Amino acid sequence: MKKNSCGTFVLTVLTMGLLLGVFLTNPAFANDKGVTLEEMTVKARQIEERLSAELKKIGHHVEIISGEEIEKKGFVDLNQALEALVPGLFVSVKTGRGDYANVKMHGGNEVLWLLDGVRLNNRLYGGGYMDTISVKMIDRIEVLKGGEGLFYGTDSQAGVINIITKKVTKNVSGEIGASYGSKNHIGINGHVSDTLNNHGFMVFGGHEGWDGYRPFENNIYERSNNNAPEDRGYDRTTIGGKYEKEFDFAKGATLKAHIQRNTGEFDFARPNEKMAVNDRTEDVQFIKWDHDLSDTFSYYVKAFNHRWWTDYTRQKLDGTFLYNKAEWGYEDRGVNIMGSQLFDGNHELLFGIDYQNYWAKDDVWHIAKNEENSTAVFAQFRPTLAFSPETKLSVGVRYNRTEENDITIYNFSIRTPLFAGIHFRGMLGTSFGLPTAEQLYLDENGSWGNPNLKPEKSVNADLGFEGQFSIFNWEAGYFYQRLEDAISYTSDWTSFENSDKDTIIDGFEIQLTTHPINGISLLTSATTVDAHNNENATQLAQTPEYMIKANLKYRHASNRFGLDLTTRYVGDMVQSGYKAYDPYLDEIEYGNYFLADLSGFYSFGFDLKHTVTLRFENLFDKKYASRVSKASVGGDKFSYETLGMPFTATLSYSYEF
């Protein structure tokens, strides 16, 4: 990039220096026998932290991606890691790394993003922007498929992706790393954690930069009269800290605090403009109290703040500005209280309250009202069946209210053994999406919002069987989503309305995993998606009809070195409404591409603390379209493809202590 953030880079270097100084001056590292790491022992039952694992046990469809796996495979971008590793999840990043992404969970785009349980979704326009999130502090990623509105609230009709960061440790531990790669990628990162006198601390930081590539064909630049096209890249920086302390109140309690700032400059490429840049700052903070009052009753209280702000600059080819550091963004504050009561053996009742206060500003797209409150109560009952103790089931309900509307949803799930080691899992329920600020309060250039909009409501089902034979674990499932009262523009594009036509999405997902044989294992998955509106049978835009993924992994018995080959094949996609831009094409078909990535790592030194990773993305330099768009230049209307990321190589080094 030509606009490297020198200030944030220097600040990150200083942070890395601080981490290195702590490492060099701590007497624990003077012992060449190394340091034994130990996770902090937490007395509280931690309702929130165990939620996803327990949802899996009671029949929800949950995938867990470990941070170690992401690191061993050499990923430097969150969206690309999810694209390669999560079955049934389609992720298409517009121009490679650090950009907006088209995310479809089993064909649905209503995906809620969380960072340590804190909502990241944008209440201005919906969805989540993950371009500011670094992969370097990830402990694991929890992917919950299907409607998950019961615990997580709005925007989770298709599922939830919860990014869990690394934990504070009881003894000194940490990591320092650096990376360099194609298109002038650079990165440094580090964290250090320790507990002194029962006070646990962690500081972390990282910086990445990437010059990127030209995401359009030469003839598209020429047709746009762009004689000096630039590469599209980004800079991003993360700095933060954690605090944790245990108390001996009743059966045990834990206080946690987390503060994190993500900043960056992200290009938004268009072929007919000189440049567009989002200069973004994102703050995530929360404080949490976990407490076990007795062997049967636990609760937590969590207060959070999420601030997402952009200075937006957009410049035309003649040098004039459409926007010059125009502000747009939002702040989301709230409190979450949740309790767990065990009774009559192992029956459990989970219950809680959510409160969210949202405020926004937009100098680019005027929103008449900029504040909203949302309150919810929810409960889930998990009985234990005396006649079938291995059967796990749950039933739950949530009531959500805003100033404009309210909605009640339910959820039922079950997981039970059948025969020969085969289990059945099933989840049935409803979920919801609240209207965005744009849809409610837009007031711009003859278009306006509709404050009478009802929430979108979905009916969800996810059913499957799981089992194993010989060296194989397998899963086979069916998913279904019916989206009611879908919000869209009116036919004259002047306002918004709830559609009286339902959107139907269903399909199948199959997974097959092998146990390691001589260090070699394989995970394959195939997903089919039929997604359409009741008005016609055309597949919904930007939704592939099928996906096939395969991850072939080798790990030496010593874990000293390993190789990974990750592949995916994306089926047909379609984009409608292009007849005015090409008289011969009302619909543009694209997709049908195969991508492969190859990575390898080698660890060395005492206790294998040093690791070098080499990663090749888009190994065969496949040219493919990540999306299709349209443009108008001097009366010339045309469609064009945005090209996905070409072949890149990245070399990384890390030292763990």
Residue pLDDT, tens place only, 405-425:
899 999 999 999 999 999 999
Q: What percent of the chain has pLDDT over 70?
A: 92
Q: What is the model's pLDDT at position 130?
A: 87
Average pLDDT for residues 379-398, to the nearest whole number?
95
CA distance 320 to 650: 37
147 pLDDT above the threshold of 90: yes
Question: Residues near 335 by Cβ (< 8 Å), separated by ≥ 6?
Answer: 301, 302, 303, 304, 353, 354, 355
Pairing of the two strands 159-165 and 111-115: parallel
CA distance 148 to 154: 9
Nearest to 501 by CA among 455, 461, 452, 536: 536
Q: Is 9 exposed, middle or buried (0-12, 13-18, 19+ CB in 10 A)?
A: middle
Please state the CATH superfamily assignment of the domain spanning residues 6-656 in this structure: TonB-dependent receptor, beta-barrel domain (2.40.170.20)
22 pLDDT above the threshold of 70: no
- The position carrying tokens 């997580």 is 152
Q: What is the largest CA-CA distance in the chain?
A: 76
CA distance 444 to 249: 55
Q: What percent of the chain has pLDDT over 90?
A: 76
Average pLDDT for residues 331-335, to the nearest whole number?
94
CA distance 638 to 223: 9
358 pLDDT above the threshold of 90: no
565 pLDDT above the threshold of 90: yes
Average pLDDT for residues 99-109, to the nearest whole number?
94
Q: What are phi and psi of 4, to 5 degrees?
A: -55, 135
Q: Is 366 exposed, middle or buried (0-12, 13-18, 19+ CB in 10 A)?
A: middle
Q: Say if CB 483 and CB 463 are below 8 A apart.
A: no
Q: Say if CB 104 and CB 130 are below 8 A apart.
A: no
Q: Say if CB 644 and CB 618 are below 8 A apart.
A: yes
Q: What is the model's pLDDT at position 584?
A: 61
Q: What is the model's pLDDT at position 25?
A: 37
Q: What is the model's pLDDT at position 580?
A: 65
Q: Which structure tokens are listed for 617?
A: 């993305």
450 pLDDT above the threshold of 50: yes
Most confident of 31-45, 217-231, 576-590: 217-231
| DSSP-assigned letters across all residues of 259-283 | EEEEEEEEE---TTEEEEEEEEEEE
Q: What is the model's pLDDT at position 123?
A: 77
Task: Please name the residue ranges forming H helices in 395-501.
Answer: 437-441
CA distance 47 to 44: 8
- Going by pLDDT thresholds of 50, 70 and 90, the confidence category of residue 403 is confident
Q: Which structure tokens are listed for 125?
A: 């326009």
- The position carrying tokens 């234990």 is 384
CA distance 572 to 624: 12
Query: How many residues comprise the chain?
Result: 657
Average per-residue pLDDT in the chain? 90
Q: What is the model's pLDDT at position 366?
A: 83
In whole angstroms, how large is the CA radius of gyration of the chain?
Answer: 25
Q: What is the model's pLDDT at position 29?
A: 36
* CA angle at 44 for the pair 40 and 48, rounded to the nearest 5°: 95
**Is residue 124 helix, strand or coil?**
coil
Q: What is the pLDDT of residues 247-281, one digit of tens each?
A: 999 999 999 999 999 999 999 999 999 999 999 99
DSSP state of 341: E
How many Cα atoms sit within 13 Å of 263 on the Cβ side?
Answer: 15
Q: The sheet that has 118-119: what strands, in order across it? A: 61-66, 138-145, 159-165, 111-115, 118-119
Q: What is the model's pLDDT at position 491?
A: 82
Q: What is the model's pLDDT at position 20?
A: 39
* CA angle at 413 for the pair 408 and 415, rounded to the nearest 5°: 175
Tell me the domain boundaries of the chain: 6-656
| DSSP-assigned letters across all residues of 499-528 | -SS-EEEEEEEEEEEEPPBTTEEEEEEEEE
CA distance 551 to 562: 13
5 pLDDT above the threshold of 50: no
Report the range of poorest mean pLDDT among 17-31, 32-46, 68-82, 347-361: 17-31
Q: Which structure tokens are listed for 182?
A: 């194609």
Q: What is the model's pLDDT at position 585?
A: 66
How many Cα atoms sit within 13 Å of 427 on the Cβ side?
Answer: 30
Q: What is the model's pLDDT at position 363?
A: 87
11 pLDDT above the threshold of 90: no
Nearest to 176 by CA among 22, 6, 27, 9: 22
Q: What is the model's pLDDT at position 30?
A: 36
Pairing of the two strands 447-448 and 443-444: antiparallel
Q: What is the model's pLDDT at position 124?
A: 77
Q: Say if CB 594 and CB 622 are below 8 A apart.
A: yes
Q: What is the model's pLDDT at position 131?
A: 87
518: left (phi over 0), alpha (psi -120 to 50) or beta: left
Average pLDDT for residues 571-584, to the nearest whole number?
77
635 pLDDT above the threshold of 60: yes
- Going by pLDDT thresholds of 50, 70 and 90, the confidence category of residue 2 is very low
